[in-house]
Amino acid sequence: MSEENKSYGLAWFLAGLGVGALVGILYAPKSGRETREDIAQGAREGKEYLRARTREAAENVSALVDKSREHVSAFVDKGKEHVGEYVDRGRDAIDRGRAQWEEFVERGKNLVADQTTRVSAAVDAGRQAYQEASSTEPESHEV
């Protein structure tokens, strides 16, 4: 029930209490003293009713606040869990990237070393071929 409906209900209750008291006074078959005691008793009962309703409202508000805290706490916990998952995923991606980078660097080093060996071998073979060719052929300067 909404707060607006509750306040209307309370207003109607109080209005009914007042009308009932007025009608009771006008048509009372009792004496003035008895009527005053009945009115006082009705007022006490109304006061107790209001106290009980106030207590209930306070308990309801307290229960709502507790539920809200539980929901907020659960929401925060779930948020922390998601953030933790994203951090873990990020770390995994960084680790995979680092491993791939190290693998590429190692491949590059191996490729450079292999090419260096090939170029050195080709240069040595060229030198040797040149030396062999220059030592076995007579020099001719024909034009």
pLDDT in tens, 72-123: 888 889 999 999 999 999 999 999 999 999 999 999 999 999 999 999 999 9
Residue 139 lies inside a defined structural domain of this protein: no
Q: Both ends of the chain: CA-CA distance in Å? A: 119
Residue 110 lies inside a defined structural domain of this protein: yes
Domain that holds residue 127: 3-133
Residue 141 lies inside a defined structural domain of this protein: no
Residue 121 lies inside a defined structural domain of this protein: yes
Residue 142 lies inside a defined structural domain of this protein: no
The pTM score is 0.40
Q: 20 pLDDT band (50/70/90 cuts)?
A: confident
- Say if CB 54 and CB 47 are below 8 A apart: no
Count structural domains, the chain: 1
- Say if CB 17 and CB 42 are below 8 A apart: yes
- Say if CB 46 and CB 17 are below 8 A apart: yes
